[in-house]
């Protein structure tokens, strides 16, 4: 009797292994290395720095996700965002970008990878100072149309936080992930 139980368990084990091996679900294993993440965020940061330095809305527009371009009037909003910047950019004191969030499933690898970045102390030849922030999706397994920048902000730094004067700022795109 024990021999039959062992054989039955062995046969069931073999059937389970066979069924697992026949899994036809589309799996896309993707685990990014720090080098890949760093290279992409550095590239994007350089694009944003160049676009802001030249107030080049076309350059940054090309980095927006297709979803955001279809949902918002990104071209017009970028022109409006750059319009609040008084003068030409002469200095960017601090800039940074990096991965800010990730979703990971053991069987699929990374499914969503998001990034963000900031340019602080963006000084113009008129003496004004601004902060630029951006946020987007680097990888989305199920929604490739979300890949790209989804949010972009320009804020005037010259207004005191507690003053009655309202801070001039402009937001482009989504206020959330999409």
pLDDT in tens, 130-152: 999 999 888 887 888 999 999 99
What's the CA dihedral at 39, 40, 44, 50 to 10 degrees?
Answer: 30
Residue 11 banded pLDDT, cuts 50, 70, 90: low
For the chain, domain boundaries: 29-173
Residue 117 in contact with residue 41, Cβ under 8 Å? yes
Domain covering 29-173: architecture: Roll (3.10)
pTM: 0.71
List Cα–Cα distances, 1 to 6, 8, 14, 15, 21, in angstroms: 9, 11, 20, 21, 30
pLDDT in tens, 14-64: 565 444 444 434 434 344 457 777 788 888 889 999 999 999 999 999 999
């Amino acid at each position: 009797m024990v021999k039959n139980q062992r054989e039955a368990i062995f046969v069931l084990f073999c059937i389970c292994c066979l069924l697992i091996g026949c899994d036809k679900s589309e799996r896309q294993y993707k685990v990014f290395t720090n080098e890949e993440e760093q290279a992409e965020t550095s590239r994007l940061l350089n694009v944003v720095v160049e676009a802001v330095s030249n107030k080049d809305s076309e350059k940054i527009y090309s980095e927006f996700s297709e979803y955001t371009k279809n949902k918002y009037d990104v071209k017009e909003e970028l022109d409006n965002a750059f319009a609040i910047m008084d003068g030409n950019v002469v200095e960017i004191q601090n800039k940074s970008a990096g991965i800010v969030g990730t979703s990971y499933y053991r069987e699929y690898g990374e499914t969503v990878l998001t990034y963000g970045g900031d340019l602080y102390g963006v000084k113009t030849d008129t003496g004004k100072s601004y902060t630029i922030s951006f946020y987007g999706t680097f990888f989305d397994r199920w929604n490739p149309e979300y890949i790209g920048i989804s949010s972009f902000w320009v804020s005037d730094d010259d207004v005191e936080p507690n003053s009655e004067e309202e801070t001039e700022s402009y937001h482009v795109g989504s206020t959330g992930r999409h």
